[in-house]
Amino acid sequence: MTQLRALVFDVDGTLAETERDGHRRAFNAAFVELGLAWHWDAEAYGVLLEVAGGKERLSHFATGQGLPRGSELDALLARLHRAKTRHYLALLATGNIGLRPGVARVLREAHARGLRLAIATTTTPDNVTMLLDRTLGADALRRFDVIAAGDVVPAKKPAPDIYCWVLERLALEPEHCIAIEDSAIGLRSARAAGLPTLVTHSYYTQHQDFSGALAVLDGLGEPDRLATGHVGAEPWRGVVDLAHLEAWAGRTDRAACRQNATDGAH
Ligand code: XBP
Ligand code: MG
């Protein structure tokens, strides 16, 4: 059996349900602050989430509203995203966005078992720091060997770049890791980098196509709130622990990162 050496966590939707009541509210607060008559309701935002990256999402929306591309729009979007991040950090600072069930337990168990921990996320690095600080405490960051966030790579999810960046810094082969993701975009990114991937779908992603996942569950579960879904094609219900993750590891194709590196594609 392949030895599991690291867990690589996505952030938004995976560590915490941050999108509907966090990022979306921050975007809307930024629109008001900059005097724009834009508003993203929960349903519209769910569609916009098909574009990974807040800056990219804003650009996609603005050009869809007919605003002409160019340096003026770029400047407006940069100001908007800075304002949005400030509002989002203020929301996180309240401590009102907690971790999803089972996340703190699995992190603790993995750390106790000597597994390495990493993060691979599209969101802005400061957002990761604030979320971890408010949910796990000031020393939480030190538990992670690698934190890959936002613009550290040119191509965002579903490109494999962010996971390749993590694997390079962990100096591990993908088959010795498991990625934990909530979305089809994140799954495609992790799989393209060759990582076996557990999907714990979230508020916006429960109906997405998770083909290629090693397991698709509604969370990591807790004894008083069992996770349900399927592992491979088998229905599964329970509490995901390290024994399960170690048993599921190793189900992966060869890494795409080396292939991309050869092609210089990332
Ligand atoms: C989800 C994203 C992020 C957030 C917004 O990231 O696509 O862009 O929606 O955050 P993850 P920013 O990979 O963790 O699921 O505005 O900072 O981009
Ligand atoms: Mg996510």
Which residues keep their CB under 5 angstroms from ion ligand 2?
Answer: 10, 12-13, 182-183, 186
Is the model more confident about 263 or about 9? 9
Q: How confident is the model at residue 61 (pLDDT cuts 50, 70, 90)?
A: very high
Given a cut of 70, whether residue 260 has pLDDT beyond it is no
Given a cut of 70, whether residue 115 has pLDDT beyond it is yes
Residues 70 and 122 both lie in one domain: no
Average pLDDT estimate for 181-203 = 97
Residue 223 placed within a domain: yes
pTM to 2 decimal places = 0.94
Residues 155 and 206 both lie in one domain: yes
Average pLDDT estimate for 98-116 = 97
* Residue 11 CA to ligand 2 centre (angstroms): 6
65 is in which domain, residue-wise?
Answer: 19-93
Tally of domains within the chain: 2
Residue 124 placed within a domain: yes
pLDDT of residue 250: 63
Q: Based on the residue annotation, tell me whether 10 is a catalytic residue of this protein.
A: yes
Residues 72 and 162 both lie in one domain: no
Given a cut of 80, whether residue 112 has pLDDT beyond it is yes
Average pLDDT estimate for 216-225 = 98
Ligand 1 in contact with 127 (CB < 6 A)?
A: yes
Ligand 1 in contact with 186 (CB < 6 A)?
A: yes
The catalytically annotated residue of 10, 161, 182, 218 is 10
Residues 240 and 202 both lie in one domain: yes
Residue 1 placed within a domain: no
pLDDT of residue 249: 87
Residues 158 and 233 both lie in one domain: yes
| Residue among 121, 128, 130, 195 whose CB has most ligand 1 atoms within 8 A, to mutate | 121
Residues 82 and 110 both lie in one domain: no
Residues 89 and 105 both lie in one domain: no
Q: Based on the residue annotation, tell me whether 224 is a catalytic residue of this protein.
A: no
pLDDT of residue 266: 37
Percent of the chain with pLDDT over 70: 93
Q: What is the CATH number of the domain that holds 70?
A: 1.10.150.240
**To the nearest whole number, what is the mean pLDDT of the chain?**
94
Q: Which of 45, 78, 93 is the last residue of a domain?
A: 93
Ligand 1 in contact with 22 (CB < 6 A)?
A: no
Ligand 1 in contact with 10 (CB < 6 A)?
A: yes
Across 54-58, 131-135, 246-250, least confident range: 246-250
pLDDT of residue 265: 40
Q: What is the CATH number of the domain that holds 205?
A: 3.40.50.1000
Q: Which of 93, 112, 146 is the last residue of a domain?
A: 93
Given a cut of 90, whether residue 2 has pLDDT beyond it is no
Q: How far is CA 186 from the centre of its chain?
A: 7
Residues 165 and 87 both lie in one domain: no
* Residue 37 CA to ligand 2 centre (angstroms): 28
Residues 23 and 49 both lie in one domain: yes
